[in-house]
């Protein structure tokens, strides 16, 4: 199969996933960008839950993201909290209502149904191929990786637990599964 064929297939899949997400969001009066921002905020860590990080992750303008965050806050799906140490920083935390909404939307029902008959070893293989492709594209485009903390070169495992080598702060078992804007793969 040629790279163009792979491109076409991925594009079709992404379109279908986006369409399903759009239909889901509209039931709650939400635009796709608003659902995408809320999804990201349910998956990111405490260093990555700022308006700037959402803007970088989605690759959109500051204005678009700021409008989207305002709508999410008005709908009670998100709340803003000032950082305890640095008052200039604002953290965006999904409310219980916001988290429940995203839990209902992921994974997309169409994808779940389509993969039902696929064995777990094939799904694992597919995941590895997609992960490697994503990593390659991020590297080539010089984009931030926004990957899970446990795969980061700064993640340190000590006897007492995990530490972020960049901030020297402890990380919980749950936090190392989250995505981070400072993430870097080992060389
Ligand atoms: S170890 Fe890496 S991914 Fe984890 S919090 Fe630190 S910089 Fe972020």
28 lines ligand 1 (CB under 6 A): no
Decide: 105 in ligand 1 pocket, CB within 6 A: no
Render pLDDT for 41-84 as a digit per residue (tens, 0 to 9): 999 999 999 999 999 999 999 999 999 999 999 999 999 999 99
- From 155, 173, 175, the mutation candidate for ligand 1 (largest count of ligand atoms within 8 A of CB) is 155
Structure tokens at 75: 């709908």
Ligand 1 close to Cβ of residue 180 (< 6 A): yes
DSSP 144: -
pLDDT in tens, 97-141: 999 999 999 999 999 999 988 988 999 999 999 999 998 998 898
The structural domains of the chain, ordered by start, are 3-117 (1.10.10.10), 138-187 (no CATH)
Per-residue pLDDT reduced to its tens digit, 13-42? 999 999 999 999 999 999 999 999 999 999
For residue 169, how far is its CA from the centre of ligand 1 (angstroms)?
10
pLDDT of residue 66: 95
Tens digits of residue pLDDT in 152-175: 999 999 999 999 999 999 999 999
State the closest ligand 1 atom to the C-alpha of 162, by its place in the atom list counted from 1: 1
Residue 51's closest CA among 87, 93, 9, 85?
93
Ligand 1 centre and the CA of 85: distance in Å? 19
pTM: 0.90
SS3 content of the chain, % helix, strand, coil (to 5): 55, 10, 35
Whole-angstrom Cα distance, residue 45 to residue 148?
9
């Amino acid at each position: 199969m040629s790279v163009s064929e792979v491109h076409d297939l991925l594009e079709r899949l992404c379109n279908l996933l986006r369409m399903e997400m759009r239909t889901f969001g509209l039931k709650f009066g939400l635009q796709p960008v608003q659902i995408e921002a809320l999804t990201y905020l349910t998956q990111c860590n405490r260093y990555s839950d700022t308006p700037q990080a959402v803007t970088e992750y989605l690759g959109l303008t500051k204005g678009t993201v700021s409008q989207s965050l305002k709508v999410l806050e008005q709908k009670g799906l998100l709340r803003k909290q000032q950082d305890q140490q640095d008052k200039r920083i604002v953290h965006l935390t999904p409310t219980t209502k916001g988290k429940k909404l995203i839990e209902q939307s992921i994974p997309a029902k169409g994808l779940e149904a389509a993969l039902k008959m696929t064995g777990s070893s094939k799904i694992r293989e597919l995941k590895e191929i997609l992960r490697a492709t994503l990593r390659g594209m991020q590297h080539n485009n010089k984009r931030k990786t926004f990957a899970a903390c446990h795969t980061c070169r700064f993640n340190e495992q000590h006897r007492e637990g995990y530490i972020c080598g960049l901030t020297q702060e402890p990380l919980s078992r749950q936090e190392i599964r989250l995505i981070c804007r400072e993430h870097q793969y080992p060389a």
